[in-house]
Amino acid sequence: MISLPGPLVTNLLRFLFLGLSALAPPSRAELQLHLPANQLQAVEGGEVVLPAWYTLHAEVSSAQPGEVPFVMWFFKDKEKEDQVLSYINGVTTSKPGVSLVYSMPSRNLSLRLEGLQEKDSGPYSCSVNVQDKNGQASGHSIKTLELNVLVPPAPPSCRLQGVPRVGANVTLSCQSPRSKPAVQYQWDRQLPSFQTFFAPVLDVIRGSLSLTNLSSSMAGVYVCKAHNEVGTAQCNVTLEVSTGQ
């Protein structure tokens, strides 16, 4: 194999891929790329494997001697498409935190992404182009899956709005600055005795709890829990109800 500088290889492959996809109708292709998941979810800070593999003549067996896969994984970020990993002429090039699960050559092209961030959400495309030992093209395929990186709620802040006197109204508010998807809120009084709250005094979307006509028996430690499908975070506020002016 001749080794070529990076941009040239990329252009050459783009050309090759275009040529092949134009020549070979998909129904006749011997090569099939399998991406079993259309959509995957993962959690920020964690890792995920995007499963992908190809078969030749409908066989899953491992790559044969002389079988040369050219592999590229792309990520489409809003407008621009970015190459996150390539395996070309035996050389793997990748962005930080991105790797192939299996050492090449392999028919399993699964991609591992580590240290996930919310902005890693989006479509990932795997493109493979296989040549046999005679340098003959066995086919090309490209497939896409969607990754959704979820974010556990960031610690919320709890606040007391109003002056807590007997007979007055106050609002306890709770706000988590970041989460995906949006959190729902729950308010409970923990001390001196447990009490939980429901709509209409509780607004689960905004995180506010309305306490009206305060009495000294409503004093205590109020805990707000902000939760979504990947986590929970909480804060609390102590309500002291004063009598008189």
Ligand X SMILES: *[C@@H]1O[C@H](CO)[C@@H](O)[C@H](O)[C@H]1NC(C)=O
C-beta of residue 32 within 8 angstroms of C-beta of residue 126: no
Rounded least distance, CB 214 to ligand X, Å? 8
CA dist 140 and 137 (Å) reads 8
Angle at CA of residue 209, ends 205 and 214, nearest 5°: 170
Q: Give CA separation, 176 vs 155, 162, 232, 239, in Å.
A: 6, 21, 10, 20
- Sequence-distant (6+) residues with CB within 8 A of 46 are 116
Backbone angles phi, psi at 56, to 5 degrees: -120, 135
The contact set with ligand X (CB under 6 A) reads: 49, 51, 53, 60, 101, 108, 110, 168-169, 190, 212-213, 215, 221, 223, 236
Write the CA distances from 160 to 82, 114, 215, 219, integer angstroms. Answer: 47, 40, 16, 12
Q: Which is nearer to ligand X, 180 or 185 (CB)?
A: 185
